[in-house]
Amino acid sequence: MHYMASQSTVGLNEAEDDRLHEEHLALQSLMGNPIAFHAEMMGDIMYFHQAMKQPDSEEFVKAVIKEVNGHIENNHWQLVPRSEVPPDAEVVPSVWAMRRKRNLTTNEITKYKARLNMHGGKQTYGVNYYETFAPVVSWFGIRLLVVFTIVFQWSLRQVDFVMAYIQAPIEMDMYMELPAGISTKHGDSKSHVLKLLANLYGQKQAGRVWNEYLVGKLRSIGFEQSKVDDCIFYRGDVVFIVYVDDGMFLGRCDRQLTSIIKELVDLRLDIEDQGHPADYVGVIIRKLQDGSYEFTQRAIIDSVIADVGLDGPNIATKPVPAKSTVHLHAHKSSPTFNGRFNYRSAIGKLNYLAQTTRPDIMYATHQIAKYSSDPRKEHGEAIIYRPRYLKGTRHLGLKFKVDRTRVLNATWTLTLLVLGIVLSLPLTPVLPSLGEVGSFSTQAVLSSGLPNCKLKLLSLPQKQSTSQCLWHFVTSSPSWNL
């Protein structure tokens, strides 16, 4: 995803202008991965010192104790005197990452997590890390998997790799300071350090090491890696998709998938079978009685509504995502945005929604995201308009359903496929639609005229390159006979 750079700030000195430019580029980079951006912007993620100031700090303390005991029981490190650390080795600080996990439907807290990380920011290139890139599955790939499930009427199974990174061995000898609040009978952080024996979270290369380890395990039982998306694998007519430590299998029947999950367990992977997916990477997945699937994100919508102060009763809602009569620009002569809510956080959540289950707010979100480095009063007012619309449509989401009674016009099929909106399998057009919104339904797309279709095409975020990738992926496995 790319956002147009805003104009240079008039009247600011060169250093301040450069700072705003760098901040804007950083925002663009973060928004390139909406899933990761959403995780960063949620208020339930914090550091140790922040968690200890929370009213539920006792729950975080319990999570810390559980985390440390888990590492000790599984022999993830070795306590060694500082005198035994090689002189050319670095002792990297440790840092706690605390998190509340919530039910995506009710927003209730379901679990407190404390994750001990190495402070990757203190690592030195060429000393304790080299390559760091680790692929992340695209949201397009996740949607495509669900489309296949509907078309072929196959089964879906979700799995979780327990403490995924740590299942992989450490890449090289590494040493870490004892974590805050922890002492041992042999000594404290002044006299002892931890020699890591497992691929601890926080290392710059931890994601890459885990990914290579998992790929090796999958290939050992016959899975092939997609040439289009590095996080999608197939073996015969079984497809596997993984986002860091969360995976989904697609196959002809549950018994087939159960057998493959057992194979992974036999490879000494700690994997939890979670059955049919209820939520995946922050999206609620619901299978309806007619065999279709619905994707919604009510918890995220409620979160952004609360962020801008619209969570009270008797709040007026809006019928459309943005005012058609207002043209946003830099508004340099207007007052600076008053900061009564976190502008960048709201943009992050709206962007995440737009790229996953609410394409109807995509264009409107792009227009306000351009001014994140220097928002003005008009930009803040424009943001508030989006949650007012979402408040009245929070129950809506993407719905995937096969319509076997209609045949797409060849011209429209080609146009839609080029834009990555329709997956046209033999005699089976499959289109995503916003549930209960007529203008986004399958029937409306097939029957409406040119002006309305143009509007719908612009509302959906897939590009021409995506449709090409889709076609290559669909035809990559000979067992599907497409």
Arithmetic mean of pLDDT, 5-34: 51
Give the least confident one: 166-170, 233-237, 338-342, 477-481. 477-481
pLDDT of residue 84: 93
pTM summary value: 0.72
Distances in Å between the Cα of 97 and the Cα atoms of 54, 253, 280, 403 are 14, 39, 21, 46
User: pLDDT tens digits for 185-208?
Assistant: 777 778 899 999 999 999 999 999
pLDDT of residue 458: 34
Confidence of residue 423 (pLDDT cuts 50, 70, 90): very low
User: pLDDT tens digits for 49-80?
Assistant: 899 999 999 999 999 988 888 888 889 999 99
pLDDT of residue 390: 94
Q: Work out whether strand 279-280 and strand 293-296 pair parallel, antiparallel, or are unpaired.
A: unpaired
Name which of 40, 141, 101, 150 is nearest 356 in CA terms.
Answer: 141
Q: In what order do the strands lie in the sheet with 91-92?
A: 77-81, 192-196, 175-176, 91-92
Confidence of residue 17 (pLDDT cuts 50, 70, 90): low
Give the least confident one: 30-34, 44-48, 304-308, 401-405. 30-34
User: pLDDT tens digits for 238-272?
Assistant: 999 998 888 999 998 999 999 999 999 999 999 99
> Mean pLDDT score of the chain, rounded to an integer?
77
Give the per-residue SS3 of the chain.
Answer: CCCCCCCCCCCCCHHHHHHHHHHHHHHHHHHCCHHHHHHHHCCCEEEHHHHCCCCCHHHHHHHHHHHHHHHHHCCCEEEEEHHHCCCCCCEECEEEEEEEEECCCCCCEEEEEEEEEECHHHCCECCCECCCCCCCCCHHHHHHHHHHHHHHCCEEEEEEECCCHHHCECCCCCEECCCCCCCECCECCCCEEEEECECCCCCCCHHHHHHHHHHHHHHHCCCEECCCCCCEEEECCEEEEEECCEEEEEECCHHHHHHHHHHHHHCCCCEEECCCCCEECCEEEEECCCCCEEEECHHHHHHHHHHCCCCCCCCCCCCCCCCCCCCCCCCCCCCECCCCCCHHHHHHHHHHHHHHCCHHHHHHHHHHHCCCCCCEHHHHHHHHHHHHHHHHCCCCCEEEEECCCCCCCHHHHHHHHHCCCCEEECCEEEEEEECCCHHHCHHHHHHCCHHHHHHHHHHCCCCHHHHHHHHHHHCCCHHHCC
Confidence of residue 144 (pLDDT cuts 50, 70, 90): confident
pLDDT of residue 104: 66
pLDDT of residue 28: 52
Arithmetic mean of pLDDT, 311-329: 87
pLDDT of residue 466: 52
Question: Does the structure show a pLDDT above 70 at 37?
Answer: no
